[in-house]
A and B are shown apart, each in its own frame.
Chain A
Amino acid sequence: MTAALLDVDGVRKHFPVGSGALLQRQTAWVKAVEGISFTIAAAETLGLIGESGCGKTTTAKLILLQERPTAGTIRFDGEDVATLKGPALLGYRRAVQVVFQDPFGSLSPRMRVGSIISEPLEIHTKLSRAAIHERVAQVLELVGLRPDVASLFPHEFSGGQRQRIAIARALVTDTRLIVLDEPVSALDVSIRAQIITQLEQLQKRLGVSYLFIGHDLATVAHISHRIAVMYLGQIVETAESSELCANPKHPYTQALLIAALPAHPDDKRERLGLKGEIPSALSPPSGCRFHPRCPRAMPRCAEEVPATRQVAPGHSVSCHLYEAMSFEHTVGGSP
């Protein structure tokens, strides 16, 4: 395997919660992210899928250095990002960019498109005005907009076009990794397909990596090479996206597949066996965090935290159901 561009290893993030009117006393911790590990290679897309409150966005913030992890390390190009300082830190911020869900909230209404896109260049480079202008025109063309839109304001664009502007802004600094936090959830179906196709083409041309965060399995599986499924702060299953769709192992992944909407009326699915709703991260269930909702829970699931095991090459799952199977694999030699 090629060396990973981004290597997230055993990262935890706990937020303190206080009680009392002025949050004076810390009484509990929200364990938003509880020991997650994954890697992203160059020119690869990792899909991160999960429901609200599972820690997807916290994970994105940790990678973007908007939050510092409580424990664990994040390495970019082999270097621990927590130790970066000065020019090295600026270099990291230049290489890792983000596109948010809502293109109406993420673009300043008071800045022209050209200024929005060139702002990172003004901060990070010493390019001349003409060179900046040229670079802005270049990225606008990359995302399928005419270069002359640089003089317009965001309100003159539709949602899909605004999302293109946000992508252009993320690309302008010779970016190597873009964190895409639900970039198409706020868009209409036909526009969604435009943006997904555009992102796929950009990756082919520029070799940029994506962390694609979403909750719609069909869309995430379409754009991603590999997928990590998150539930309540933990990654429960990781696999190649075609393998995950064809052969889901974790009961939660299986439930997500059942819950995914059919592509054709004849494509009937069994009913969802899941009960209840996602528990609060303030007091997560003991043992396996999914056990209160799991249709296949066993008594031990409430007591023991399942270890992450490899069930096939590149396919790992954290569930007590696959212990015997994974044993054969470990004997077979894979680490």
Chain B
Amino acid sequence: MRTPLLEIRGLKTYYFTFGGRRVVKAVEDVSITLSEGETLGLVGESGCGKTTTCLSIVGLLPPAARVVGGEIRLAGIDLAQKSAREMRRLRGSTIAMILQDPMASLNPLFSIYTQVAEPAYYHLGMRSRSLRRRVEELLRAVRIPSPAMRMRGYPHQMSGGMRQRIVGAIALAGGPKLIIADEPTTNLDVTIQAQYLDLLMDIQQETGVALIFVTHNLGIVAKMCNQMAVMYAGRIVEKGAVRDLFGAPRHPYTRALLGSMAKLGSKEPLYAIPGQPPDLAHPPPGCAFHPRCSDALPRCATQDPDDVPCGLNWTARCWLAA
């Protein structure tokens, strides 16, 4: 087997607040492997640690958070050992990130050209005419009409869908191997979302870039991804091929998430997961999901289960899967 592009092993990221007296274990023992050209869907509810996992990869954690264990290898390089300066060189050239709100990720004071050109200027050393050509190419790749004219414009002159595509062009500008997209379509209308997702699939086919899709929308995972990892309370509770997990989910949380999804044209009652996600500062003992789990056993309240292999590259963290 070829070496994977991204290999995360036992990642732990904690937030230290109140001068270190309160510790929130936002990411606990997360392992992910991703090969070139693959798309991973990282699924879970708000506050489950999806975004913290991604910020740990790109090294953009807020000051209160620290990676306290595990390793992150990207194309053989251990990112956890890198200095801030070295990370800056990798961001934009090897890893890129697309954030949820395109209005907040674009600077309203700079032209589209300046913002799309920046990664190519710094990471690829492009200048003047070749740089201009590159920006035009990128904007054309994300289907911006008349790119030569549009690149002189500013973010406020673009619609929401166009802005998000420009953020996509910036992510592509440095020729990355991995793009992390954190809920990139939540603010878009349905038809614009479908156009954007089709575009990302085309780009992936052309460039072979690996994608991590952070989302709570399982429909996006079904459409876009081949691998998925379900997170709950800072841990990955189940991961494997999308087809396997949608076909026969082994973890009750995965099953519940799939059951709570409204399916087009079906009037079957939705499965409502009772209760709320736990507070990570005071997680429940045992398996973190047991208070909301419909199949919980007595031991679930005291003992935390381990990853149980369920098939090829398929694990579930549940006593029932054993």
A160 within 8 A of B: yes
* Contact of A264 with B190 in the complex, beta carbons under 8 Å: no
Is B45's CB under 8 angstroms from A218's CB? no
Does A188 sit within 8 A of B, measured CB to CB?
yes
CB of B265 closer than 8 Å to a CB of A: yes
Q: Mark B184-215, 1 if CB is under 8 A from A, else 0.
A: 00000111111100100000000000000000
A51 touching B191 in the complex, CB below 8 Å, given contacts A192-B260, A222-B266, A262-B223: yes
Q: Does B216 contact A (CB under 8 A)?
A: yes
From known contacts A190-B257, A218-B264, A245-B265, infer whether A258 and B189 are also in contact, taking CB-CB under 8 Å: no
Choose from B194, B257, B265, B267 the contact partner of A272 (Cβ within 8 Å): B194
A217 touches which one: B222, B264, B269 (CB < 8 A)? B264
User: Given the complex, which residues of B lie within 8 Å of A271, measured CB to CB?
Assistant: 198
Interface residues on chain B, number (Cβ under 8 Å): 42
Q: Mark A273-288, 1 if CB is under 8 A from B, else 0.
A: 0100110000000000
Cβ-closest chain A residue relative to B189: A51
Contact status A246-B273, CB under 8 Å: no
Could you tell me the distance between the alpha carbons of A188 and B273 in the complex, rounded to whole angstroms? 11
Say yes or no: is B256 at the interface (Cβ < 8 Å to chain A).
Answer: yes
Q: How many residues of A contact B (CB 8 A)?
A: 45
Would you call B105 an interface residue if the criterion is a C-beta within 8 Å of the partner chain's C-beta atoms?
Answer: no
Does the CB pair A277–B257 fall under 8 Å? no
Q: Which residue of A lies closest to B228 (CB)?
A: A265
A-B contacts, CB under 8 A, total: 119
Q: Does B219 contact A (CB under 8 A)?
A: yes
Q: Which residue of B lies closest to A267 (CB)?
A: B222
Contact, CB under 8 Å: B219 / A193: no
Which residues of B are found within 8 Å of A260, using beta-carbon distances? 190, 219, 264
User: With a CB–CB cut-off of 8 A, which chain A residues contact B271?
Assistant: 193
CB of A216 within 8 A of CB of B263, answer no
B284: CB under 8 A from chain A?
Answer: no
Closest-by-CB residue of A relative to B243 is: A265
A160–B309 Cα distance when bound, in Å, is 34
Chain B residues with Cβ below 8 Å from A151 are none
With contacts A219-B262, A261-B220, A262-B223 taken as known, whether A197 is within 8 angstroms of B190 at the C-beta atoms is no
For residue B159, CB closer than 8 A to chain A, the reply is yes
* Complex CA distance for A263 and B194, rounded to whole angstroms: 14
Chain A residues within 8 Å of B, Cβ to Cβ: 51-52, 158, 160-161, 188-194, 196-198, 200, 215-219, 221-222, 242, 245-246, 255-267, 269, 271-272, 274, 277-278
Apart from the given pairs A197-B272, A218-B263, 7 other A-B contacts in the complex at a CB distance below 8 Å: A189-B45, A193-B259, A221-B265, A245-B264, A257-B264, A262-B222, A271-B198
18 A-B contacts, Cβ less than 8 Å apart?
A52-B189, A188-B216, A189-B216, A190-B257, A193-B272, A194-B273, A196-B270, A198-B272, A221-B265, A222-B262, A222-B266, A242-B265, A255-B191, A260-B264, A262-B222, A263-B263, A269-B223, A271-B198
